[in-house]
Amino acid sequence: MCRVAAWLGKPQRLSDLLFEPDSALVRQAYAPQKLGILNLAGFGMVAWLPEDGATSEPLTYRSTDLPMYDPNLRSLSEKLHARCLLAHVRGIPYSTTSNYGRENLHPFRYAGFNWAMAHNGDLADCARMRAGLLPFIQPTIAAQIRGSTDSEWVYALWMSQLDDPTEVHATDVIVAALRRTLEILASVRADYGIDISSSANLFLTDGTRLIALRFAFDYGRYRLDDPSRLGQSGMNYLSLWYAVGDRFAHSDGGWRMDGEAAGDSLLVASEPLTHNVAGWVEVPEYTAIVAALDNDGLHIDTVAMDI
């Protein structure tokens, strides 16, 4: 499983999210608080800087280096501020067949597309499902799949539910496409007789909007033919947390979201970026947090996604 952090709101220094707090995203690569495996298979991020316009290309960074030993990432994060960030540390179970390549690093964002996506979870037997998923993926999008992850197939499937992923769509259209994606995955899983618990916490952003989904297929059903894999399947529902305020800052001896609870900034993460969870709220299962930032400030809603 992986760890993800996302920010939408007032410009925030990247190192304040990635490195500095006691459970910052990079620290979660080797010392996660709510996950039993390490996340040592690389780092990726997309970030929209304060000066970027609504249709600007984001800064993109990916490296298979361990992020805690990546001086380039550390230097960039200390200098840059972002109004929107989606960052991901990748975790994969040890296997001689695991693909560690750069093409498998999140977030995924195809050239010219507006939306980026990161995934925390694992779709059981996804490789077996691919032939069943292809009819639901636009051929021009399927041709862009480069990696071997289940996550990239989810991204391609989701983008294929939009008539044109290079155009700007209303938020309700994006949410409907996400719901349709989950319905297709559930249907294809049923067609192939796949009913193993599969987490699909998804993080989606276009630089002005952020959607974070906490979801699992067939939660509570585990593969019993190989007991050694039970620990990898995630016996607990994968967590997702958020905090709202004006800025994420160090004060009174610790890091926290400062300002009003109805502030202009949203921080979402697989697990809190601080050991002290005061001020953090856990997202309910089968729920999406949907946020948009415009001239009137930050607007946040929740959407039930129990398909």
Query: Is the pLDDT at 22 greater than 90, yes or no?
Result: yes
The predicted-structure confidence for 35-85, as pLDDT tens digits, reads as follows: 767 766 689 999 999 988 777 899 999 998 889 999 999 999 999 999 999
pLDDT for the residue numbered 100:
66
Residue of 273, 209, 258 lying closest to 14 (CA atoms): 273
The pLDDT of 91-107, averaged and rounded, is 72
Asked if residues 77 and 47 have their Cβ atoms less than 8 Å apart, the reply is no
DSSP assignment letter at 277 = -
The pLDDT of 104-120, averaged and rounded, is 96
Query: Is the pLDDT at 220 greater than 80, yes or no?
Result: yes
Asked if residues 79 and 126 have their Cβ atoms less than 8 Å apart, the reply is no
Q: Please give the residue that has the higher pLDDT: either 228 or 170.
A: 170
Query: Is the pLDDT at 229 greater than 70, yes or no?
Result: no
The pLDDT of 87-106, averaged and rounded, is 75
Query: Is the pLDDT at 262 greater than 50, yes or no?
Result: yes
Query: Is the pLDDT at 217 greater than 60, yes or no?
Result: yes
pLDDT for the residue numbered 134:
97
The pLDDT of 15-40, averaged and rounded, is 87
* Helix-strand-coil split of the chain, %, nearest 5: 25, 30, 45
pLDDT for the residue numbered 184:
98
**Which are the contacts of 22, defined by CB distance < 8 A and separation ≥ 6?**
254, 255, 274, 275
Report the percentage of the chain scoring pLDDT > 90: 75
pTM for the predicted model, two decimal places: 0.94
Poorest-pLDDT segment among 34-43, 269-278, 288-297: 34-43
How would residue 199 be classed by pLDDT, with cut points 50, 70 and 90?
very high
| Angle at the Cα of 18 from the Cα atoms of 103 and 215, rounded to 5 degrees | 65
pLDDT for the residue numbered 230:
57
Domain ranges of the chain: 3-304
pLDDT for the residue numbered 231:
53
DSSP string, 43-78: EEEEEE-TT--TTPPPEEEEESS-GGG-HHHHHHHH
The predicted-structure confidence for 127-186, as pLDDT tens digits, reads as follows: 999 999 999 999 999 999 999 999 999 999 999 999 999 999 999 999 999 999 999 999
pLDDT for the residue numbered 234:
52
Give the residue carrying structure tokens 């694992």: 122
Poorest-pLDDT segment among 15-19, 23-27, 158-162, 234-238: 234-238
Poorest-pLDDT segment among 39-53, 110-124, 218-232, 238-252: 218-232
Mean predicted lDDT score pLDDT of the chain: 91
pLDDT for the residue numbered 233:
46
pLDDT for the residue numbered 61:
97
CATH number at 3-304: 3.60.20.10
